[in-house]
Amino acid sequence: MSKAAKVVAALAVADLTERQGRSEHKRLSEEIRHHDALYHDKDAPEISDAEYDRLRQRLKAIEAKFPQLVDPLSPTQQVAPLPSTAFAKVRHARPMLSLDNAFTDEELQGFLDRLRRALERETDLKPEDEIALACEPKIDGLSISLRYEDGEFTVGATRGDGTTGEDVTANLKTIKDIPHTLKGKAPKALDVRGEVYMERHAFQAMNKRQEEAGDKSFANPRNAAAGSLRQLDTTITASRPLRFFAYAWGEAEPRSWKTHTEYLELLRGWGFRVNPLSQLCGTPEEVRAFYRQMAVERPSLPYDIDGVVYKVDRIDWQERLGFVSRAPRWAIAHKFPAEQARTRLNGILIQVGRTGALTPVADLEPVNVGGVMVARASLHNADEIERLDVRAGDMVVVQRAGDVIPQILGFVPEERPKKTAKFDFPTHCPCPLATPVKAEEGGVVRRCSGGLECPFQQVERLRYFVSRNCFDIEGLGGTHIENFFNDGLLKIPGDIFRLPGRVDEIRKREGWGDLSVRNLVAAIEARRTIALDRFINALGIPLIGEATAKILAQEYGDPDSWLAEMLAAARERKHKPDDVKKEKAAVEIGPSYGRLCNVEQIGVTTADAMCAFFSEGHNVEIIEDLRRQLTIEGVTRRVVADDAPLKGKTVVFTGELSTMTREAAKARAEELGAKVTDSVSKKTSLVVVGENAGSKARKAAELGVQTLTEEEWAKLAHG
């Protein structure tokens, strides 16, 4: 997200201009579609349900203020992304719509008020009459429609886009809760709808088996259920502990029931599992009491729920109320707030990272927090443990920061065991070498002094080497890396590319068959050609991450030049006085070291870390070993023509651009020879000022830097 977009995103909807609203509507729509695809198609969400709900709420609020922005392609008008092409498509006899959400008691009251107004207007409901609502826990699983004809299960499909879903009939037939033949008398044609889910204890056991086998583990039971159901191999689905609750219908010919609760009883008679917690509530007070009860019982339930669903019980009233947009007017989901949970702290573990940093980690009794099973939470450092004063045996409060990262908020004093002891941070690394731990001067990080001799650091460096943003070698996960390291198959990164010559040894190992070995060899061979920036990133050089690696690759162009310059800079750095801190003085130390210090976003501190890495002969040997086995591709450096209009100029963009994206504007500036940066200084040549510009425009004025409007920039950029 651009900085201008961040400014708009931070504004209240009531404060948005129409232009800002249009821009924010476009951004939110794209973001929601992205997360919809991850959630529904890949079963791999990047954000929590609560964060996703906030995106949708803001989009709906913008559309309420600017109705002209509503169109059929808006996420508010659609149920979900189109079904994937991996399965045959099934058209639902009646659409599978989703529900609107209520997040507060005020929003629930608004729903109840709308119901009453509509029913008093369209039915014989009197002001003194109550509206009975069927209430049930909202299962956090995968919505499914089951088609029965003459009592026989014929087709099962996912929700898909609400109109068309994926045919997962064969997989659904492996779930014991789904009857193949209905008991008793049922409609001739019937669509039973409900939720496929996975109970928490079964999920934990399955994830443990997945990890032990070196296979993918799932973030939460919902992802596990969705991923298990959408397998092309039905034997995999059959091996997964899936369950099913039935709670609704689509087409039903003929339909005999007159209320939702009557239908639930029929479902039980036909052989389906119906949630036993479902309850008919006759008054708003009973509805709110049911919600509070579910919130209390939520942690102890065997499955995940993320709210409560309320439905008008009378079917004739449902039919009179009808639908609006993508949701029924007669039902709503009352979501729980972002969750905190209490659980037992079993102990504090110490993890050693690839740079030797010792990180304390809370070992927790597994607990569901906001839809994710949490068994570990970082305690960051010794100072944080001291601040929290958490001890083994404590009952602690856990939440997910930003609904993403698990964190310990503190302990529950009244539940602290009588005999507890403060945690003593180790003075020696827990690795077999037991090397001393040193605290960084002026910092809170404590590091193992064993360097690359520490086996824990070696394993973590190897894990990083094969990770997604580095060599991205599929089939060589963390568990495999550790096992191969402990058994002597891997010690240094180059050993990875020698594994294809040791397939006979690997094939003898537990869990490694012919297919998995062939896949591993293919994945390794596919990575024998690598881009220079990925290669630099994979080395795990302190302070050098993905972005900095790209900058270095662009600066030096090819692996020979880069390596030669780094070795030269390391030699020159040996003569640098300890009190040299500024880049101007650093340039005087030597040409290679000075060049490195002056690379954009590098500076003295990062340059020193790079030089320290290349001063270690062992690291250079690792690089040379890899170069003998790999083809490292350089990058095409951008050549600026001598007559480029902005050659040698430094340009900054600020504010919201309406005629082009920020990325397009930057790319055009670079084509014209400019260097684009994000901060304004005396070195800045000009600042392009868009709408709602902030501090950068003010700083440019203070420094006397030339500014251009977007229109003036467009004339300059395109003539």
pLDDT digits (tens, 9 = 90+) for 508-531: 888 788 888 999 999 999 999 999
Specify the DSSP element, H or E, that contains 518. helix 514-525
**Angle CA 333–334–338, to nearest 5:** 120
Q: Could you give the angle at which helices 559-573 and 546-556 cross, rounded to 10 degrees?
A: 100
Of 60-69, 275-284, 623-632, the least confident: 60-69
101-335 and 650-718 share one CATH topology? no
pLDDT tens-digit map of 403-438: 457 888 899 898 899 888 999 999 998 888 888 888
Of 67-71, 581-585, 630-634, the least confident: 581-585
3-state secondary structure of 505: helix
pLDDT value of residue 403: 44
Residue 174 banded pLDDT, cuts 50, 70, 90: very high
pLDDT tens-digit map of 205-226: 888 888 777 667 787 888 889 8
pLDDT tens-digit map of 353-362: 887 888 899 9
pLDDT value of residue 509: 87
Domain parsing of the chain, residue ranges = 3-78, 101-335, 340-439, 450-527, 532-633, 650-718
Q: How many residues are present in the chain?
A: 719
Alpha carbon distance 107, 318 (integer Å):
20
710 vs 137 pLDDT, higher one: 137
Asked if the model's pLDDT at residue 42 lies above 80, the reply is no
- CA count, 13 A, side-chain hemisphere, 686: 19
301 vs 582 pLDDT, higher one: 301
For domain 532-633, give the fold: DNA polymerase; domain 1 (1.10.150)
Residue 218, C-beta contacts closer than 8 angstroms, at least 6 positions apart: 203, 206, 207, 210, 224, 227
Calculate mean pLDDT across residues 310-333. Answer: 90
Q: In 4-151, where do the E strands start and end?
A: 89-91, 101-102, 133-139, 142-149
Q: Is the sign of the CA dihedral 51, 111, 257, 273 positive or negative?
A: positive
Q: Are 530 and 524 in contact (CB under 8 A)?
A: no
3-state secondary structure of 247: strand
**Quick one: DSSP state of residue 475?**
T
CATH number of 101-335: 3.30.470.30
Asked if the model's pLDDT at residue 40 lies above 50, the reply is yes
Distances (CA, A) of 336 to 54, 55, 66, 691: 13, 16, 29, 38
Alpha carbon distance 450, 613 (integer Å):
15
pLDDT tens-digit map of 117-137: 999 988 889 989 999 999 999
**Considering the entire predicted model, what is its pTM?**
0.47
Counting residues of the chain whose pLDDT is more than 70, the rounded percentage is 88
Distances (CA, A) of 47 to 35, 52, 232, 614, 684: 8, 7, 26, 39, 37
pLDDT value of residue 82: 46
Alpha carbon distance 278, 473 (integer Å):
47
Q: Are 135 and 308 in contact (CB under 8 A)?
A: yes
Q: Are 206 and 236 in contact (CB under 8 A)?
A: no
Calculate mean pLDDT across residues 380-388. Answer: 88
pLDDT value of residue 83: 47
Alpha carbon distance 257, 24 (integer Å):
46
**Angle CA 438–440–444, to nearest 5:** 105
Specify the DSSP element, H or E, that contains 26. helix 18-36
Alpha helices in 221-370 (DSSP H): 221-229, 234-239, 260-270, 284-297, 315-321
Closest C-alpha among 133, 100, 139 to residue 116: 133
In the residue annotation, 138 being an active-site residue is answered as yes
Asked if the model's pLDDT at residue 98 lies above 80, the reply is yes
Alpha carbon distance 440, 385 (integer Å):
17
Alpha carbon distance 424, 434 (integer Å):
16
Q: Are 583 and 572 in contact (CB under 8 A)?
A: no
pLDDT value of residue 583: 46
Alpha carbon distance 204, 184 (integer Å):
37
Q: Are 323 and 329 in contact (CB under 8 A)?
A: yes
Architecture of domain 340-439: Beta Barrel (2.40)
Alpha helices in 539-682 (DSSP H): 546-556, 559-573, 583-587, 591-597, 603-614, 617-629, 662-671
Calculate mean pLDDT across residues 523-551. Answer: 88
pLDDT tens-digit map of 445-493: 888 877 767 888 889 889 999 988 889 888 888 888 988 998 899 999 9
pLDDT value of residue 521: 93
Asked if the model's pLDDT at residue 275 lies above 70, the reply is yes
Architecture of domain 650-718: 3-Layer(aba) Sandwich (3.40)
Calculate mean pLDDT across residues 42-46. Answer: 61
Closest C-alpha among 360, 380, 350, 356 to residue 542: 356
Asked if the model's pLDDT at residue 586 lies above 60, the reply is no
Question: In the predicted model, what is the mean pLDDT of the chain?
Answer: 85
Question: Helix, strand, coil: what percent of the chain each, to 5?
Answer: 40, 20, 35
Q: Which amino acid is located at 303 in the chain?
A: Y
- CA count, 13 A, side-chain hemisphere, 126: 2
| Tokens linked to 8 | 């708009």
Counting residues of the chain whose pLDDT is more than 90, the rounded percentage is 35
Closest C-alpha among 170, 150, 184, 188 to residue 237: 170
Specify the DSSP element, H or E, that contains 455. helix 455-465
Asked if the 450-527 domain carries CATH number 1.10.150.20, the reply is: yes
Q: Which amino acid is located at 194 in the chain?
A: G
Alpha carbon distance 490, 479 (integer Å):
13
Q: Are 517 and 507 in contact (CB under 8 A)?
A: yes
Q: Is the sign of the CA dihedral 141, 145, 148, 154 positive or negative?
A: negative
User: Domain spanning 3-78: which superfamily?
Assistant: Helix hairpin bin (1.10.287.610)
C-alpha 506 chain-centroid distance: 33
Calculate mean pLDDT across residues 604-623. Answer: 88
Residue in 60, 138, 311, 576 annotated catalytic: 138
383 vs 562 pLDDT, higher one: 562
Calculate mean pLDDT across residues 279-295. Answer: 94
pLDDT value of residue 64: 81
Alpha carbon distance 151, 144 (integer Å):
18
Alpha carbon distance 457, 429 (integer Å):
11
pLDDT value of residue 402: 44
Exposed/middle/buried for 488, CB within 10 Å: 0-12, 13-18, 19+? exposed
Distances (CA, A) of 459 to 143, 185, 354, 590, 609: 41, 62, 8, 36, 21
Bridge pairing between strands 675-676 and 405-411:
unpaired
pLDDT value of residue 576: 60
Residue 4 banded pLDDT, cuts 50, 70, 90: low
